[in-house]
Amino acid sequence: MNLGAQETEFGLALAHRIGVIKAGETLLHLTKQTLPTALSSTAYQRYWTGIVEVGGTGGKFTFVPTREENRAPDFHAGPRHLTEEWKNRQLRGDIEFQLVWIPFLSEEKTPTKALKRPWQEDHKQRVGIVVFPKTDFDSDDASLWAILATEMGANPGNWIADKRNSIRQPASEFGVARKIAYQKSQEGRGALEPDFYQSVFSTAQITPELAQDLKRRQDAKLKAGHIAQAP
């Protein structure tokens, strides 16, 4: 898809809502964030999460490749070259990332309100390894997991900050706004209720009943013209 056209359309929508100056500042910030990925040769690169909480402590996670393989893409790279590169990479074997935790320090060093300012990372901590297992994305099993991921609709909508679910709301204004936005999105598209897939996290298995429901939901959304992935 054309990144420039998307940015222009998004910029006009922002200008209509928040004014030309703020829209320009926001668009510049987003361009700085997305441009390195758009100009990459591989999807195996560094990723930051938004502000999240672990046991009530705020921070960000970073997924860091265990080895650096990124370079400028080929001149004739297609619009889906990152998707295809990741698909082929995961077909060949497991993909490992170092998981790094960047805890909140202060609004000056790790801002939760001035979201256009980068976080300081001198105090970051390596906390583990994340593995994306070898997968054939053309298989029926992988297709079911992909459908389930779209139904879950991203974790911030299912706000649980600790095992006891004793923390009722995120600590930051952005966190609360994101929770509300994801909940509204899930309600609007009739996303699958968490109770229906809770067992997946303990068994790592999709039951035949869940598989049947996932396929039914996908068929219904395709018939309604919904888009689950980029063309």
The tens digit of pLDDT for each residue in 195-225 reads 888 889 889 899 999 999 999 988 988 888 8
**Dihedral (Cα; 4, 6, 8, 11), 10-degree rounding:** -130
For the chain, what is the domain count?
A: 3
Q: CATH code at 75?
A: 2.40.180.10
Same domain, 46 and 86: yes
Picking from 73, 108, 134, the residue at the C-terminal end of a domain is 134
Please give the Cα distance from 94 to 101 (Å, whole number): 22
Domain holding 82, by residue range, is 40-134
Domain identity same for 29 and 58: no
Residue 230 has pLDDT above 50, yes or no: no
Contact assessment for residue 109 and residue 120, using Cβ atoms and an 8 Å cutoff = yes
Considering the domain architecture, whether residues 83 and 18 belong to the same structural domain is answered as no
Task: For residue 65, give the H/E element and its range.
Answer: strand 57-65
Can you give the pLDDT at residue 134? 94
Question: pLDDT tens-digit profile of 98-153?
Answer: 999 999 999 999 988 877 788 899 999 999 999 999 999 999 999 999 889 888 76
